[in-house]
Amino acid sequence: MRSHWRVDLGWEGVGDWGAFDGTLCDELKSRGYGFAVVNTVYDPVQNSKRHDLYVRDLEGHLDGGLRACAVDGYFEGARGSEINAALLELRDSITKDTKSRLTH
What is this structure's pTM? Answer: 0.65
Q: What's the mean per-residue pLDDT of the chain? A: 77
Q: How far is CA 63 from CA 32, 51, 68, in A?
A: 22, 17, 9
User: What are the structural domain ranges in the chain?
Assistant: 21-95
Phi first, then psi: what are they for 74, rounded to 5°?
-125, 125
Q: What is the pLDDT of residue 54?
A: 75
Give the confidence band of 15 by pLDDT, cuts at 50, 70, 90. low
Q: What percent of the chain has pLDDT over 90?
A: 12
